[in-house]
């Protein structure tokens, strides 16, 4: 469907020329983006010509898909007003802002939570753009903590506003702890993962809009930041990169209101991992180093170790072996300095020598040093646990790739078979993508019975809907 617009849309025509996209090319990109979100679109070059020359405005998600398609080609976010479609539904812009004012920050976060739970996830269609992290990261670096966040009854303008206490915050933290356990064991796509956005909308939003002292408010913002980061992590694990990016931005803003610098660093580390996963290694290095720089003298030794490990992952993706090695050495050194009695944050409970070894293996896999991959993978796989099923599956794939690159086809297929079995027990698009990459690497050996058997075992996993 389309509706009339006033005259030719010169802005759209100009942006298409700037991006070097033809009418047919834009139609194809919009249809493809729609298909990725379960939408059946049949635009063609004539449709685009009408948008440009006659100013017709497509309905539904199409304007945002147009912006996403152009933004992907330009490598930056493209707002609707820049393509002459500012009067379209503004929903997809929600969650990208990093407001300076605390009250506006609450509105930005709660607007995103409501949008997601209103069945509008298909409208979160702006393509992932690593540049969207630039403003949040720089504002957090400059001012990682807000002033007072107290909100009195007289400030709310609502006589029915909730009076928030520490008990309310404790419930949110318990929900975050439960969600972390479910995510590690069953993947970000498990049905229980939907409880996190629901908790944000139903439980957290009314509390943020209530009244609280500065002390309670800091704790409240911290708990909601944890939950929002978790929602982003789960979206990331299920391949919903655009939604993940918005959650991460809001989580960082909430962490600033909480004056929780280590938590802000954790969000930046999550952003870094997403950036390198999407192919932006240099930006991943910047985000990890931002987390490190602000946390010097503040975070615990274990926390600093994890931030160095994330930097190592980014440096490896960037192909910088010496910098990766230095970061890994720093990660190991900080972990050795940690003690059981340290006040480590609860969200770091997953981090141990096994995790360091697993990520070190991925670093050396990116650097194509299979001998080191095998060494670290043996350590990472030595203590499998039912609490971290997804991690175990990912480690098996990394092990299989290392065996293949070392010329050990039998061992590669054996590890790959175990990885497929694990991946079939969880809902994680990321794990499935790892398996898909392994099978791609095995294509030159497609005539081998062992490879054919592995491919057959993986068929149901790869055919399952994302």
| Final residue in a domain of this structure, among 57, 89, 121 | 89
How far apart CA 208 and CA 384 sit, in angstroms, is: 39
pLDDT, residue 189, reads: 66
Strands 57-58 and 2-3: antiparallel
Q: Are residues 55 and 156 in the same domain?
A: no
How far apart CA 349 and CA 287 sit, in angstroms, is: 22
Tokens encoding 415: 């590890």
Q: Are residues 64 and 146 in the same domain?
A: no
pLDDT, residue 398, reads: 93
Q: Is the pLDDT of residue 117 over 80?
A: no
Tokens encoding 226: 């944890």
57, β-bridge pairs: 3
Q: Are residues 202 and 182 in the same domain?
A: yes
Distance from the first to the final alpha carbon of the chain: 28
Q: Is the pLDDT of residue 466 over 60?
A: no
Which of 393 and 127 is assigned the larger pLDDT?
A: 393
151, β-bridge pairs: 212
Tokens encoding 126: 């702006």
Is residue 296 in a domain?
no
Q: Are residues 13 and 59 in the same domain?
A: yes
Q: Which structural domain, as residue segments, surrounds residue 75?
A: 2-89
CATH for 12: 1.10.260
Residue 18's CB is within 10 A of a number of other CB atoms, namely 11
Contacts of 204 by beta carbon, 8 Å cutoff, 6+ apart: 113, 172, 223, 224, 227
Count of structural domains, the chain: 3
Q: Are residues 60 and 130 in the same domain?
A: no
Tokens encoding 150: 């107290």
H or E segment at 164?
A: none
User: Chain centroid to CA 409: how far?
Assistant: 33
Torsion of Cα atoms, 260 then 263 then 268 then 274, to 10°: -150
Q: What is the mean pLDDT of residues 265-271?
A: 98
When the pLDDT of each residue in the chain is averaged and rounded to a whole number, the result is 88
Q: The tokens 């004056």 sit on which residue? A: 259
Q: The tokens 């929602």 sit on which residue? A: 231
**142 CB-side CA count, 13 A:** 7
At 2-18, the pLDDT tens digits run 555 568 899 999 999 99
At residue 162 the predicted structure's pLDDT band, cuts being 50, 70 and 90, is: confident
Is residue 166 in a domain?
yes
Q: What is the mean pLDDT of residues 18-47?
A: 85
Residue 169's CB is within 10 A of a number of other CB atoms, namely 22
Which of 62 and 191 is assigned the larger pLDDT?
A: 62
How far apart CA 188 and CA 172 sit, in angstroms, is: 19
Tokens encoding 326: 């230095």
pLDDT, residue 99, reads: 94
Alpha helices by DSSP H, 37-165: 45-53, 62-74, 102-117, 134-142, 153-156
Q: What is the mean pLDDT of residues 336-362?
A: 94
At 277-296, the pLDDT tens digits run 999 999 999 999 999 999 99
Angle at 182 between CA 295 and CA 265, to 5 degrees: 10
How far apart CA 314 and CA 328 sit, in angstroms, is: 11
Q: Are residues 26 and 146 in the same domain?
A: no
Alpha helices by DSSP H, 187-260: 195-199, 205-208, 214-237, 241-258
Q: Are residues 143 and 231 in the same domain?
A: yes
Is residue 299 in a domain?
no
Q: Are residues 107 and 194 in the same domain?
A: yes
Helix, strand and coil in the chain, % to nearest 5: 70, 0, 25
At 170-183, the pLDDT tens digits run 999 999 999 888 88
**339 CB-side CA count, 13 A:** 2
Contacts of 182 by beta carbon, 8 Å cutoff, 6+ apart: 190, 192, 193
pLDDT, residue 62, reads: 82
CB of 141 within 8 A of CB of 85? no
Q: Are residues 20 and 114 in the same domain?
A: no
212, β-bridge pairs: 151
Q: What is the mean pLDDT of residues 299-324?
A: 98
Tokens encoding 119: 């069945």
- Output the CA–CA distances (angstroms, integers) from residue 129 to 22, 201, 466, in the order listed: 22, 26, 22
Tokens encoding 122: 């298909």
Tokens encoding 136: 């949040």
Range in 31-45, 175-189, 364-378 the model is least confident about: 31-45
Q: Are residues 81 and 199 in the same domain?
A: no
Q: Are residues 111 and 170 in the same domain?
A: yes
2, β-bridge pairs: 58
| Final residue in a domain of this structure, among 42, 60, 89 | 89
Q: Is the pLDDT of residue 154 over 80?
A: no
Q: Are residues 124 and 166 in the same domain?
A: yes
Is residue 217 in a domain?
yes
pLDDT, residue 86, reads: 73
At residue 446 the predicted structure's pLDDT band, cuts being 50, 70 and 90, is: confident
Is residue 64 in a domain?
yes
């Amino acid at each position: 469907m389309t509706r009339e617009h006033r005259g030719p849309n010169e802005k759209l025509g100009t942006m298409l020329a700037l991006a070097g996209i033809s009418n047919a090319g834009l139609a194809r990109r919009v249809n493809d983006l729609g298909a990725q979100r379960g939408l059946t679109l049949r635009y063609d070059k004539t449709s685009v010509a009408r948008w440009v020359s006659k100013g017709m405005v497509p309905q539904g998600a199409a304007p945002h898909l147009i912006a996403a398609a152009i933004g992907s080609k330009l490598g930056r976010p493209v707002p609707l007003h820049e393509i002459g479609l500012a009067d379209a539904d503004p929903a997809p812009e929600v969650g990208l802002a990093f407001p300076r004012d605390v009250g506006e920050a609450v509105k930005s976060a709660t607007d995103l939570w409501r949008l997601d739970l209103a069945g509008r996830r298909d409208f979160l269609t702006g393509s992932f753009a690593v540049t969207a992290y630039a403003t949040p990261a720089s504002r957090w670096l400059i001012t990682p903590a807000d002033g007072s966040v107290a909100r009195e009854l007289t400030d709310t303008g609502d006589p029915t506003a909730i009076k928030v206490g520490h008990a309310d915050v404790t419930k949110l933290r318990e929900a975050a702890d439960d969600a972390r356990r479910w995510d590690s064991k069953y993947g970000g796509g498990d049905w229980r993962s939907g409880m996190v956005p629901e908790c944000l909308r139903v439980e957290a939003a009314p509390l943020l809009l209530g009244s609280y002292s500065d002390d309670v408010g800091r704790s409240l913002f911290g708990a909601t930041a944890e939950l929002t980061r978790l929602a982003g992590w789960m979206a990331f694990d299920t391949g919903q990169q655009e939604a993940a990016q918005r959650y991460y931005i809001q989580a960082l803003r909430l962490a600033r209101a909480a004056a929780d610098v280590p938590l802000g660093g954790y969000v930046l580390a999550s952003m870094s991992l997403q950036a390198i996963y999407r192919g932006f290694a240099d930006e991943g290095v910047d985000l990890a180093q931002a987390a490190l720089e602000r946390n010097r003298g503040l975070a615990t030794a274990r926390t600093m170790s994890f931030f160095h490990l994330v930097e190592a992952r980014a440096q490896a993706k960037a192909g910088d072996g010496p910098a990766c090695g230095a970061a890994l050495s720093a990660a190991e050194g900080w972990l050795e300095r940690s003690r059981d009695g340290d006040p480590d944050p609860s969200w770091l409970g997953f981090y141990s020598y096994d995790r360091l070894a697993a990520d070190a293996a991925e670093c050396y896999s990116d650097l194509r040093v299979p001998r080191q991959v095998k060494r670290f993978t043996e350590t990472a796989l030595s203590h499998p646990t039912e609490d971290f099923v997804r991690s175990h599956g990912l480690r098996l794939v990394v092990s299989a790739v290392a065996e293949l690159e070392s010329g050990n086809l039998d061992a590669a297929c054996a590890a790959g078979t175990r990885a497929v079995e694990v991946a079939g027990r969880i809902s994680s698009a990321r794990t499935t993508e790892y398996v898909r990459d392994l099978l791609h690497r095995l294509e030159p050996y497609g005539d081998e019975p062992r490879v054919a058997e592995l491919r057959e075992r993986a068929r149901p996993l790869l055919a399952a809907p994302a």
